[in-house]
A and B are shown apart, each in its own frame.
Chain A
Amino acid sequence: MTKTRLIVETNTTPALPRFVKLRHDKGRDRWIMLAPERILTPDPIAVEVLNLCDGEKTVSEISIHMAEIYNAPIDVIEKDIKAMLQDLADKGFLIS
């Protein structure tokens, strides 16, 4: 049962583990991620990315989708998304 660090690559299919809950905080009108002893407040773009993390779409597919919506260069978008997801993985809040 040795765990290893998840390295987020282009073909990774990211998902949130069951215990990380992405939900809208009605009182404060913002999105939050609830995790053990932590409350994260992802920005609206991060929330869009996280909603695409369903364990089926690859980082590449998510990046293409986001690049289309925001009419932005795919290489820049993919680099940003990878960095964001790697940060979450290193906190233990992302699986694949």
Chain B
Amino acid sequence: MIEAGDNNSADLCAVAPMGLLAELTHRCPLQCPYCSNPMELERSSGELSTEDWARIFKEAGELGILQTHLSGGEPTVRKDLEEILKAAVDAGIYTNLITAGVLLSRERLEGLVDIGLDHVQLSVQHVDAKLADKIAGFKGGYSKKVELAKWVKELGLPLTVNSPMHRHNVEYLEEIIEFAVKLGAERLEVAHIQYYGWAFENRHTLIPTKEQVYRNADTVDEARERLKGIMSIDFVVPDYYAVRPKPCMGGWGSSFMTISPTGKVLPCHAAASIKGLEFENVKDRHLRDIWLHSSSFNKYRGTDYLPDPCKSCEFREIDFGGCRCQAFMFTGDAKNTDPACSKSSFHKDLLEIAERESKLEPKEFLYRKFTKQPQPTK
């Protein structure tokens, strides 16, 4: 059996996407300093309507989307989440609610389950309540999360606990694993933060040492063996300490798309960080048209555009040269090899930064929040 994203087809037009990250809103009660939303958050006044999302999911189902992640921000901020969920369920799409879990009541969750919600992914910032609330910038969040996890299990839904890893919880991995088992989670995601956007701004305060990351890897190996058939664990190292780059999005425009709160259709949730890319809005065109014909999706599709060292590399069709956003951030050109790859001439800089910053005294977090100026709308 193979995982999603398993295609090397040259005929990209024949390849339909399988996953859709639906960022329903950028509003969120939490302010995690590593939030994966862009630095320029989209305001609620520009958010897509219920009808827009209903149309999106209809088109997505027809296009071949099999799974959706209802995310944000915090998706439960939207009062019409029920109607949006129903549209996804009606389109036959497997639905995953990615939530901070601090706003949901048991009644509302029960309603979502009745509509057909398949899975809940709950963020847990730390096993220590005080530290968890400090990282999230939200008092009392931790205990609400524990309560939500209990309801998810009572209502018979599978639960994924998502604990993004960084310097402030890296030494607590064993406790996080035990905590997730106690909550009854079927899955635990302990992906180390990747340093884009907000996390990039906080990198000096968040990045762990290489030794800490390697110890995490050993802990995960041991726990996976012990918890076989009880809880599965997904573990990701920070790119800065990787040798091979991650096959980002399973290849650009290959199997995945993101739709932002205002309707921008993105090849990945961070794609707006690449200057010069133009994104289409789902309000203007059919989703299939955008997938097949938009310049942003076509620009980095396949591997033909990759220069050396990717061009002559045997791993080209395995990792697709890594992440376009990181290549842009470090080399100034998104076409280049991701510096996470040891074959990139920028790789040593990445490692040097990580090793130096991981030993610095942590500063105060720059919390994620809306900036004062309203952002220009297109």
Residues from chain A with Cβ under 8 Å of B187 in the complex: 36-37, 92
Q: Least Cβ distance of B288 to chain A in Å? A: 11
Asked, given contacts A6-B229, A34-B94, whether A39 binds B66 with beta carbons under 8 Å apart, the answer is yes
Among A5, A90, A92, residue most surrounded by chain B Cβ atoms (within 10 Å): A92
Residues of A within 8 A of B (CB-CB), count: 28
Q: Least Cβ distance of A47 to chain B in Å? A: 11
Asked, given contacts A36-B118, A38-B3, A41-B2, whether A17 binds B184 with beta carbons under 8 Å apart, the answer is no
A92/B157 in contact, CB under 8 A: no
Q: Least Cβ distance of A9 to chain B in Å? A: 14
Q: Which listed residue, B64, B156, B160, touches A37 by the CB 8 Å rule?
A: B160
Whole-angstrom CA separation of A18 from B1 in the bound complex: 20
Asked, given contacts A17-B158, A19-B158, A91-B232, whether A27 binds B118 with beta carbons under 8 Å apart, the answer is no
Among A25, A36, A46, residue most surrounded by chain B Cβ atoms (within 10 Å): A36
B186 at the interface (CB under 8 A from A): yes
Q: Least Cβ distance of A57 to chain B in Å? A: 21
Residues from chain B with Cβ under 8 Å of A37 in the complex: 67, 96, 119, 121, 160, 187, 234
B230 at the interface (CB under 8 A from A): yes
Whole-angstrom CA separation of A34 from B91 in the bound complex: 14
B184/A3 in contact, CB under 8 A: yes
Residues from chain A with Cβ under 8 Å of B249 in the complex: none
A1-38, CB < 8 A from B: 1, 3-6, 17-19, 21, 23, 25, 27-28, 32, 34-38
Residues from chain B with Cβ under 8 Å of A1 in the complex: 153, 184
Q: Which listed residue, B6, B118, B186, B229, touches A21 by the CB 8 Å rule?
A: B118
Whole-angstrom CA separation of A38 from B153 in the bound complex: 20
B16/A19 in contact, CB under 8 A: no
A19/B119 in contact, CB under 8 A: yes
Residues from chain A with Cβ under 8 Å of B228 in the complex: 5, 90
A39/B231 in contact, CB under 8 A: no
Q: Which listed residue, B1, B16, B231, B234, touches A28 by the CB 8 Å rule?
A: B16
Residues from chain A with Cβ under 8 Å of B118 in the complex: 19, 21, 34, 36
A69 at the interface (CB under 8 A from B): no
Whole-angstrom CA separation of A49 from B257 in the bound complex: 33
B67/A34 in contact, CB under 8 A: yes
Contact sample, A vs B, 21 pairs, CB 8 Å cutoff? A1-B153, A17-B158, A19-B119, A19-B157, A25-B64, A27-B16, A27-B64, A34-B67, A35-B158, A36-B96, A36-B118, A36-B158, A36-B186, A37-B96, A38-B4, A39-B3, A39-B67, A40-B2, A90-B229, A92-B158, A92-B230
